[in-house]
Chain A
Amino acid sequence: MPGVTEPPELLIRQAHVLDPATGLDGTTDVRLSSCRIAEIGEGLRGPREMDAEGLHLFPGFVDVHAHWRTPGREDEEDIESGSAAAAAGGFTSVVMMPNTDPIVDRPVVVSGLVRRVERESRVRARVSAALHVGLAGERLTEMRLLEQAGAFCVSDDGLGTASAGVLRNGMLYARSAGLPVILHCEDHTLATGVVHYGLAASLAGLPGSPASAEDAATATALILAAETGAKVHITHVSTALSAALVSFFKDRADVTADTTPHHLTLTEDLVSTLEGLYRVNPPLRPESDRSGVERALREGVLDFVATDHAPHASEEKELPLEEAAPGFLGHETAFAALYTDLVLGGRLSLGRLIQAMSCAPGRWIGGAGNLTVGAPADLTLADLSEEWTVERGTLASRSSNSPYVGRTLNGRVVGTIVGGEPVHDRTGVNFEARA
């Protein structure tokens, strides 16, 4: 990971700097030194300059929901490829989910991952440990020992929510351990299908999971969060009702929530293709839910976007939808998909998008997502005018299960800087030192 040796000073000249956290919105210079933001203003000089005229400069994106498949499924993604994909998408920090093999439910697995991230990751990566042993929703993990080993939060992501009584104790214990809980809200007694239980499923003849599978679990989680005082983050909210429930509990619990780029830009209509690629959990929803989630993001009810980057080998996706593994790649297309559909579509301001990709998740992980002098030099450069087509062969991820493959998107991340060091660079000569 960058930052082991201090990168040389870098001056980014004349980018359009946009940071809703500090209110910056205009063309200026930014000087990076000693891994941090050293100076922001007009007419700065430095030994190594890059001309960023015409580019936008944002606080580095933060993705609190990534599956890097390590340990266990390095054929799908490893820390090197996952972090390369994150960097290509402008993400400077991610949180790695624990549903690996072995599952991240023991301190020794956490400490091993933390060490590997230091050596192998291009971006900052925090480790989420499991909330329950084996993600099984029964026995609590040794959260205090996990925390000492370097775990940042706990989650049973991927396997839905434990029964209410078990979850309540999990939240209480996590609070004792000082760890936030990320919850994938899904009631197994309701979630028995492979797609959203709606018109598209009916027409296609696919078993569906009703929205109530998510909504009932979300309601339970929020009620327990309010009662226990635990710090709870509800991830990948995909229904209008779940968003409304989050809204109700916003000032009654220590709760935040995210939704994904795909739930903001795609709907259950894709199910009619019957392609395994489009299986994802929670499933793509009808337009009424998509627009409800979009409104909730616009209004700040949903605090931020997280990608749920979930690589799968082709043999797990090139299958009938019912037999395919659920999940989409997310890192590399998140910004462009949201910029294209929501910002250019006139439904979300660029400022709110950056808030949702940088500032709010940066605040959630702590100390990231803002361009304050003295803050870590984690930045994302984007060319909003670039038009590009998502192609399998050009993705940095080791997998290719992106629902946007073949689509032409606007706006592209061209540079990612972590701790003052470029970790992704499509700007070409711009990073060259000025002798």
Chain B
Amino acid sequence: METRSFLTLEDTSCEDLREILELARAFAEGRIRDALANKTVCLAFFEASTRTAVSFELAARRSGAHVISLSEKGSAISKGESLIDTIVTLDRLGADAIVLRHQAAGAAALASRHTSAPVINAGDGCGQHPTQALLDLYALSEALDGFEELQGRRVAIVGDILHSRVARSVMPAFVQAGMEVALVSPLTLLPPDAGALGLPVLSSVDEAVEWGADVLYMLRLQRERMTGARIPSVAEYARFYGISRRHLEGGALVMHPGPVNRGVEISGDVVLDNSSLIPDQVAAGVCVRSAVLALSTGAVHRIAA
């Protein structure tokens, strides 16, 4: 059976994305059951996570997999075992897929070189978070009535792009889906040479709305960024890089990978507004990750019609 790791979406074609989303839909609609029966899925979380870990666990269990969870607390990870040793151990215990969350960029790629099991990157440092980008595409496709509807739409990615693995995965995903992408960030939170990505750089949510953004994709501002070194104050950040109700008058949709800092990235009264896809993003996590697990283990190769 052919297996496949999910480390990044950088080389994932539009056709691939469509297939993954269609498979996810089949899972969501209950058209595929027990796809992972007799498979062992290992969740190796070197870094704390709530929604991603829960979402993967549900995705695996609902498809009939055995699930082994290693988290930083109460496992070899907390005893200082190296990444490679942990991965080799899981490999020898017979893991059919390893879901890895790690604090360092490149950890998933490194892990994949030490196991024959497929590795699914559940977030590595500031590197990549491919399943987040897939569930974002899924939630957005559902909201717009189809993957094809993403073509030509404009999405502004707003906030701390420099430190965001989510940004590094959603950028290529949105581009492959045919969307026009703009970055909205102060230069202190923008990767150097971001201009070389060929994406316009805007300097406020106001500008993004003026640019015609159909989707405002908000990134989380980590607390350690709020000390004044890169951002002067939460007030100034919220004023220029936060969403308030007036930004939604033209019908733009709001997305956020969570957890939201209310009043920072998004004003409190908008988080669960009708324009907000945030709950839909969470909901999409399970079926998308079921699809990813099924494809990665080779349990499903083609989409069931």
Contact = CB atoms under 8 A, between A and B. Distances in A.
Contact of A144 (B227, B228, B230, B236): B236
A173 B186 contact: yes
Interface residues of B, number: 15
B240 A144 contact: yes
B231 A140 contact: yes
A138 B231 CA distance: 11
B203 to A, nearest CB: 6
Contacts of B233: 142
Nearest to A165: B229
A4 B226 CA distance: 43
A99 B239 CA distance: 26
Contacts of A228: 187
A226 interface: no
Contacts of A173: 186-188, 230, 232
Contacts of B54: none
Contacts of A176: 186-188, 203
A141 B187 contact: no
Interface residues of A, number: 16
Q: Which of B188, B203, B229, B239 gathers the greatest number of chain A CB atoms within 10 Å?
A: B188
B228 A139 contact: yes
B82 to A, nearest CB: 31
A139 B229 contact: yes
A143 interface: yes
Interface string B215-237: 00000000000011111110110
Contacts of A133: 228, 232
Interface string A129-160: 00001000011111111000000000000000
A322 B236 CA distance: 42
Contacts of A141: 232
B229 A166 contact: yes
Given A138-B228, A175-B187, 10 more contacts: A139-B229, A139-B232, A140-B188, A141-B232, A145-B235, A166-B229, A169-B230, A173-B230, A176-B186, A176-B187
27 contacts: A133-B228, A139-B232, A140-B188, A140-B229, A140-B231, A141-B232, A142-B235, A142-B236, A143-B232, A144-B236, A144-B239, A145-B236, A145-B239, A166-B229, A169-B188, A169-B230, A172-B186, A173-B186, A173-B187, A173-B188, A173-B230, A173-B232, A175-B187, A176-B186, A176-B187, A176-B188, A176-B203
